[in-house]
Chain A
Amino acid sequence: MSHQSATLAAATRPADPTKLRALEVLPWVAALTFYFVAPGYEPLATQVFVMILFALSLDLLVGFAGIVTLGHAALFGTGAYAAGLLSVNGITDPIVTAVLATLAAAAVGLVTGALMLRTKGLALLMLSLAACFLLYEVANQATPWTGGDDGLQGVTFSPLFGIFPFDFRGQTAFFYSLGVLFLAFLAMRRLVNSPFGWSLRGIRENDGRMRALGCPIYLRRLTAYVLASAIAGLAGALQAQTTQFVALHVLSFQLSGDILIMLILGGAGGLYGAFIGVPVYMLAQDLLAKQDPANWYLWQGAMLLAITFFAPGGLTALAQQALSAIKGKLRR
């Protein structure tokens, strides 16, 4: 166990956290290359960027603060519905709606988080689940506003910066979501390497000791929760803007579970898990669910079982182990 936590610490803490490593450029290069290599796949790539942003926000909770939630879609959905409802009611500027949606999700996160984070363990898990189901049911029943089961129709947004319209090929959506993801990632990277980020790791590892050190546990966890809510809401807003549609699915327990699986597949607690887990998961889903949904469930379940039993650190940890094994061989 101590070996594992040692490798985990090594994985989460680069030698100088503020220094940019060569590997860190890779995802962005890959994203831009993808644009030239695979034309026509922009909508899928956009979807991947949105989900990476969503998974990043969950990483802040699960990976850094150690808050396990089963209802993270509640905040993603809040952002998506906020953006969608604003658009339907005449506020269609993408930047303005994204900012307002982010604030709306942060507000929901503040209220639910302030209540939920008083509890621990099963109660916390259940409260996150209940909050998610509650919002889902509200959206489901408020048909006059949300369209209920049919989803929110007629969502359109005006051109980005007044210049670039959201076109059919999805080029604007592609660069817009990639840009937002990049900015949000820079902010997250800064955040988790700040003293605040390290205090979150401390709380995750041993909250009793952090309390003894004089760290305001509840406030730190709540701050992390509100920040994660804001980012999840931003991802939701992007989803509404790039697909021009909001379905009930954005608030579902299923989405909460899926995003958790994507993050764990990549590896939580290192910021880069989202960049590996989400594309792998979504590509696998695209390939496997086409034939038969049952097939996809089976693969998804088998993959998750393998991860829980054999690779709790996810794909990033596996890659890290492989890399250090190769390095060790070369040195000898």
Chain B
Amino acid sequence: MIGSSIVAILFFGVAYGMILYLISVGLSVTMGLMGFVNLAHGVFAMAGGYATVSLMNTMGVPFFPSLALACIIVTGMGFVLERTLYSRLYGATELRQVLFSIALCLVAMAIVRIVWGPLAQPIQLPEYLTGQTDILGQALPTYRLFLVAFAAIVIGGLWLTFERTLFGARIRAAVDDRAMAQAVGINTKRLFAATFGLGTGLAALGGGLGADILAIAPAYPLQHIVLFLIVVAVGGLGSIKGPFIAALAIGVSDTACKYFFPEVGSVFVFALVFLLLLWRPNGIMERR
């Protein structure tokens, strides 16, 4: 009994962690790259969720094409916002960046509330992804299994891009030393915009995929931003592996904590994060 519940907790925790990672990894890279304190990253995840749900529910587009379209739409949105607004505040004080991104959250929340109303938008999953599947004698929800597998493939692709392509090498170079990267002829402006777009696209994917874990409602950006920021701060800015470990750890420990000690709630996770950040202010993956 204990054994099976541990398997279930691990499984649900990993699924949760994967969603957190998909949403936050873009934030980690853009914050590491541009040094921009962006509290509005949740807006893009929320936009992905709303786009997916609307395409499916009102236009009858199937699940996967909706998800892909949502990603493309939000990537474009991120690209435009980076060029028009974000880029103006590179190098500005932390306070101004914080205020700007809070303002962006508020505007996005208002628009979403006006268009879709205050209630959470339910996602209608395709038939073949609902129900339960038996794995080693344990019944697990099919959708979560799919989610873990799908996210693993995306994350694998992301890591390959980051480690094995020229684009990835450019990003890594710019994170390490922006001035030097510029000096050897990397067009950092274009790189920032492309990276920002990619990051927001991944957030949209996470928002759409995770619609049944993090409900798609107008309060989304401010309600969950602390989770995304924790993943980035604990994982380490500019890293893509650190946030993965952080996201899985937070997903599993939060799930376990809520299962074993429901009366303690999220106190444990916040206390843990507080201590972790005191121990390693620059994240667990800090190179010394």
Q: Could you tell me if A134 and B278 are in contact, using CB atoms closer than 8 angstroms?
A: no
Number of A-B contacts (CB under 8 A): 123
A127 in contact with B106 given A70-B98, A308-B96 (CB within 8 Å): no
- A297 x B222 contact (CB < 8 A): no
How far does the Cβ of A31 sit from chain B's closest Cβ, in whole Å?
Answer: 28
- B99 near A130 with CB under 8 A, answer no
For residue A221, give the distance in angstroms from its CB to the closest CB of chain B: 15
A298-B111 contact in complex given A133-B226, A304-B99, A312-B96, C-beta closer than 8 Å? yes
A133 to B225, CA, bound (A): 12
| Segment at the A interface, from B59-67, B183-191, B203-211, B259-267 | B259-267
A80 at the interface (CB under 8 A from B): no
Judged by a CB distance under 8 angstroms, whether B129 is at the interface is no
Chain B residue with Cβ nearest A62? B95
Nearest chain B residue, comparing its CB with the CB of A136: B270
Whether, in the assembled complex, A115 has its beta carbon less than 8 Å from a beta carbon of chain B, the answer is yes
Is B88 touching A130 in the complex (CB atoms < 8 A)? no
- Shortest CB distance A181–B (Å): 25
Q: Judge if B194 is at the interface, Cβ distance under 8 Å.
A: no
Residues of A278-293 at the interface with B, using a CB-CB cut-off of 8 Å, are 293
CA distance A123 to B236 in the complex (A): 10
Contacts of A297 in B (CB 8 A): 106-107, 109-110, 113
Q: Which residue of B lies closest to A140 (CB)?
A: B265
Residues of B contacting A36 with CB < 8 Å?
none
| Contact yes or no, B107 A301, CB < 8 A | yes
A130 contact set on B, CB distance < 8 A: 226, 230, 270, 273-274, 277
Instruction: Confirm or deny: A307 has a beta carbon within 8 angstroms of a beta carbon on chain B.
Output: yes
CB contact between B277 and one of A123, A254, A260 (< 8 Å): that residue: A123
Docked CA distance A70–B96 (Å): 13
Residue of B100, B226, B237, B263 near A305 (CB, 8 A) is: B100
Taking a contact as CB atoms under 8 Å apart, the answer to whether A308 and B99 are in contact is: yes
Q: How far is the CB of B31 from chain A (nearest CB, A)?
A: 7
Residues in B whose Cβ lies below 8 Å from that of A298: 106-107, 110-111, 114
Interface residue tally for chain B (C-beta within 8 Å) = 43
B141: Cβ under 8 A from any A Cβ: no
Q: Roughly how many angstroms separate A86 CA and B63 CA in the complex, as a whole number?
A: 55
Find residues 103-151 in chain B having any chain A CB closer than 8 Å to their own CB: 103-111, 113-114, 118
The contact string, 1 if C-beta is below 8 Å from chain B, for chain A 238-260, is: 00000000000000011001001
Of all chain B residues, the one with the shortest Cβ separation from A120 is B281
- Distance in Å from the Cβ of A92 to the closest Cβ of chain B? 30
Find chain B residues with CB under 8 A from A68 CB.
Answer: 94-95, 98
Interface residue? A119 (CB, 8 A): yes
| Alpha-carbon distance A130/B89, docked complex (angstroms) | 25
Asked whether A126 lies within 8 Å of B233 as measured between CB atoms, the reply is yes
**How many residues of A sit at the interface, in one of the four size bands?**
35 or more
> Counting chain B CB atoms within 10 Å of each CB, which of A62, A293, A304, A307 scores highest?
A304
A308 engages B103 (CB within 8 Å) = yes
Answer yes or no: B57 CB below 8 A from chain A CBs.
Answer: no
- Can you list, as one digit per residue, whether each of B238-279 has a CB less than 8 Å from chain A (1) or not (0)? 000000000000000000000000011111001101100110
Q: Does B37 make an interface contact (CB < 8 A)?
A: yes
B229 interface hit (Cβ, 8 Å) = yes
Q: Which residues of B contact A140 (CB under 8 A)?
A: 265
Given A122-B233, A301-B105, decide whether A129 and B226 contact each other with a Cβ distance below 8 A.
yes
Q: Indicate whether B282 reaches chain A with its CB closer than 8 angstroms.
A: yes
Given known pairs A129-B226, A302-B107, the reply for A137 and B270 (CB within 8 Å) is yes
Across the two chains, which residue of chain B brings its CB closest to A127? B277
Which chain A residue lies CB-closest to B262?
Answer: A141
Contact assessment for A119 and B102 in the assembled complex, using a CB-CB cutoff below 8 Å: no
Q: Is the pair B94, A125 in contact by a Cβ cutoff of 8 Å? A: yes
Query: Given the complex, which residues of A lie within 8 Å of B95, measured CB to CB?
Result: 62, 68, 264, 268
Q: Which of chain A's residues has its CB closest to B102's CB? A: A257
Within 8 Å of chain B (Cβ to Cβ): is A295? yes
- Which of chain A's residues has its CB closest to B89's CB? A308
Whether, in the assembled complex, A152 has its beta carbon less than 8 Å from a beta carbon of chain B, the answer is no
Residues on the B chain within 8 Å of A168, using CB: none
In the complex, the answer to whether A122 meets B106 with C-beta atoms within 8 Å is no
Say if the beta carbon of A3 comes within 8 Å of chain B: no
Query: With A and B bound together, what is the CA distance between A131 and B113 in angstroms?
Result: 30
Closest A residue to B107 by beta carbon equals A301
Give the residues in chain A near B274, CB-CB below 8 Å: 115, 127, 130-131, 134
Least CB distance, A118 to chain B, in whole angstroms: 7
Most buried by A among B100, B106, B278: B106
Contact at B229–A141, with CB atoms within 8 Å?
no
Contact of B222 among A127, A131, A253 (CB under 8 A): A253
Return 24 A-B CB contacts under 8 Å, by A number: A70-B98, A122-B233, A125-B37, A125-B98, A130-B270, A130-B274, A131-B274, A133-B226, A137-B265, A137-B266, A141-B263, A257-B102, A260-B99, A268-B95, A296-B110, A298-B107, A298-B110, A301-B105, A304-B99, A304-B103, A304-B106, A305-B104, A308-B100, A308-B103
**What 4 A-B pairs come out closest when comparing CB atoms?**
A301-B106, A301-B107, A304-B103, A298-B110
